[in-house]
Structure 1
């Protein structure tokens, strides 16, 4: 697969060589307009131009011996990507250079053939009188030698109501224009047709397939793998209606819901199959990406923000499945993303970062944390303020800081307004790396990190300072702290405050806690050495999860409870954290 890409005058890149991991999944990450999509588009354009040259001039046009003229195209024949005009393919829209032959834009990928020998093919473009000219300008491939086959998938656009059977050229035009939804039924039709052909070949004279052969088919065939993923993740399967171009106008694909039973869906009794058109954009995005990834005709899959319409849980599943496909199918997948959820858990060596028109894979874990600082406008105002105040408070989510501020006001020591709050569920180790990356750009930065203990062993938390003993805390400008109690909500389990907030009798609260949550709050509730049962209670669940939660039972929020706590009801752990914040930031 592609191990190096050399670009000259292509959109974002004037003269740049990008090295790529030739196998598996690479995640392209960086700020808007940093060049992520440009890399994908360059390869899509190269693949399109290669196809044009082969069809118009024959395979010899790709070899070193060929020196003929280029192939001309009108702007409406150019289909791999969507651009306002063909001049937008060039850096700064400059397609004429004095002294040059007119072919001033070039894309040259390098890969290894099956014998392990390095191959390259440079394709150059010229623009004259609104016509695009394409030719091979440097190559070492031989006639008939295989070249990488690519598929480019821009962000998903809506599915059409009726989808005709299309040629490869028609599908390429729609896909390159961002209308992947317009070809999804064609993709599914081809995968299902190939699966049916394989099944016919495997059947014995009695029409049966041996269990061993069926198992192999289910483990390797793209359609079988797709149906399995659909069943496991969406409790659905797909049915492609028979198609004959002599009397069928449109491809029909319906979806059925049911219970997944290891190898098939057991349909819900009253469920009526429906067309894909009825499904949401996130589901259809997932389906189109997965179908293309499984397509045996594709060696290199170019995905531009396929996670855009997906819930974070589906983003993680998609990446996991794509990694499996890339590994087992020996494919290369390049995926551009802004998703911090994806980038947070990916191996750093798979993340290709873009900054200052340069693309490099992360060298270590620390680089991943610094990357977050440039991922879109969500972080920009926060970073601007951070550069001014140099005061960073890391919490798990926005609700945590609301609770801390309410309790800090109760004890007469409010949190300063100039402290920058950064909500993130990362571990203390990850937060430390983020701090170090930010400090490299913001000298003098100070930070306090506070997170739930969750399932961290109690002996990893200092019982007085709340220091995270599992991490090095020697840096005086960074305090890594962990609540002694499982969740911050554990510090709200004060029956008297809950009763006041809900305007109910105290007995009603204590009864609810005892009968539904098996916990009795002791008199020393605020002490750091409170009984372990209070520390280990699942405070978040008790307060806000389920019909028997405090919120549901008494119609009162955790913020209302925090606001009702008196000074003497504020736990000592909270006072330690507030003191840490004030001592660090003044």
Structure 2
């Protein structure tokens, strides 16, 4: 198991477990279900492995955290068992699992009234890991066999019998199919307009048959003859089957704990949102059930009601289970340490630069702001940083500003006062970061002199008057709100007048391509033109924009 000391997870009617891969979300669900099933099936505290209907791994002795699941180690000292503890108000209980040795099974120790409830024959937990597929045929299984198959996590092998069970306990529809109105109502909250039918005539049928209908299957003049338009259940998509399975378990077993592992995996974002609302609504009709869902979906967390708990797991332990988890996930910053607010709407180039340093990329999320004016000011970013305990930083293009201009702009936006770091692209914009001769030479595998010649030819492709007008517009817009009078002519002269430093990187891209298409063949290196796409990629060996790396690392070390 990924869990060592998960502390206490407080469950609401609906609880969402969030965290990156390997954080322990699935381990929580599997541990609860395994303990529950072992409690239900054990006799005289012992459960042979051949009687286990659910186990997280066939090598179950490896499930103890960083050790093996044994009764005793050499020397007589006990190893760590797997323990699942329960608390309801002041009542407590625990289920402790130890190995019987030689992979023969487990010893089950149950303490307290709360845990003792899991000894019941009817499954008290239902575990839904996702639906890999549907069995080709299903026949009626005896109740104990049916319950054990359903509890195994392989709902696809008994889904039709679960549907039949929601119609009637006697598992008989007679000669005609019957519509499953309650199931259709519940699943229809996620997949609007869906309907289900099932048929099993105990006198005539060897197999259970089930059908479904969705509004997109309607043809002809419509009408209400659904029996001609419906399709066999095995033709349904994975997302629909996943949702159907969830509510079939709920209707059939009414478990104390319904454990759902990543239901968002096969659902469109709009369906993910509807699933949360449907689960929260269903709990009104099933007050004895609590639902625990593991998810990676920010949409699911964002739309969840206030009564739904959100628990953030990291490295097998709880990192947070407060309201801040929702805000972090809404920012896309769960498991991140830095939010980098960028003026750009297309963050591809900025991401390429940060990807040069994987240890920083894994801890940084870029938030596009669609323009400089949309970047939050220093006071707002400071509140975000202090309230949610996450580091913040700003990126904006230099837009030909001087160092004094940059200092004034940071002060004007409140970044200096609120200690919010700002990274400015060293050239006019983010594209210019990739247009230095040494980077071009490295990316294209050519001599630096050839790269410099390509830049020279690129400048010849540009009209000086057009470049000058674009420079004036960009510079005056950048410093227009700053104290003092903008002097674009002086800044133009300071940068060297008509040169690469006064051309926007965005404008220089096409000219550079043409310049290199002339320079490389002239140098006998035309074959290297195939490397041109690599220019706008970062490189971990000879990285660009090391000052950005310093900013990010400084934040993490700070």
Q: CA deviation at 1:255?
A: 1.3
State how 1:182-261 maps to structure 2 within 5 Å: 182-193=157-168, 224-231=181-188, 233-258=190-215
**1:336 paired residue among 291, 294, 299:** 294
Q: CA deviation at 1:158?
A: 1.0
Work out the CA distance in 1 between the residues paired with 2:314 and 2:355.
Answer: 34
**1:318 paired residue among 275, 287, 300:** 275
**1:139 paired residue among 112, 134, 139:** 112
Alignment correspondent of 1:158: 133
**2:418 paired residue among 475, 483, 502:** 475
Work out the CA distance in 2 between the residues paired with 1:180 and 1:338.
Answer: 22
CA distance 1:476–1:306, shift in 2 (3 Å): same
- Per-residue CA deviations over 1:331-356 (Å, capped at 9, x if unaligned) read 21111112222234446871111124
- Per-residue CA deviations over 1:344-378 (Å, capped at 9, x if unaligned) read 44468711111243225433326741795455xxx
Alignment correspondent of 2:60: 86
The alignment partner of 1:18 has SS state of coil
Work out the CA distance in 2 between the residues paired with 1:134 and 1:190.
Answer: 33
**2:47 paired residue among 64, 72, 75:** 72
Aligned residue pair count: 406
**1:277 paired residue among 210, 227, 234:** 234
Work out the CA distance in 2 between the residues paired with 1:434 and 1:285.
Answer: 41
CA distance 1:132–1:267, shift in 2 (3 Å): same
Work out the CA distance in 2 between the residues paired with 1:272 and 1:359.
Answer: 49
The structure with more strand, counted as a fraction of residues: 1
The alignment partner of 1:291 has SS state of helix
Alignment correspondent of 2:341: 393
Matched-pair contact (CA < 8 Å) for 1:302–1:334: yes
Work out the CA distance in 2 between the residues paired with 1:365 and 1:396.
Answer: 27
Q: Does 1:124 align with 2:97?
A: yes
CA distance 1:85–1:416, shift in 2 (3 Å): closer
Alignment correspondent of 2:455: none
CA distance 1:124–1:310, shift in 2 (3 Å): same
Alignment correspondent of 1:36: 25
Matched-pair contact (CA < 8 Å) for 2:183–2:196: no
The alignment partner of 1:93 has SS state of coil
- Per-residue CA deviations over 1:251-282 (Å, capped at 9, x if unaligned) read 1111123489xxxx964789532111111111
Q: Does 1:47 align with 2:22?
A: no
Q: Does 1:109 align with 2:82?
A: no
CA distance 1:146–1:176, shift in 2 (3 Å): closer
Q: CA RMSD in A?
A: 5.5
Which runs of 5 or more structure 1 residues have no equivalent in the other structure?
1-10, 57-68, 198-221, 406-413, 451-464, 480-523, 529-559, 565-581
Work out the CA distance in 2 between the residues paired with 1:258 and 1:273.
Answer: 10
TM-score by length of 1: 0.55
Matched-pair contact (CA < 8 Å) for 1:241–1:253: yes
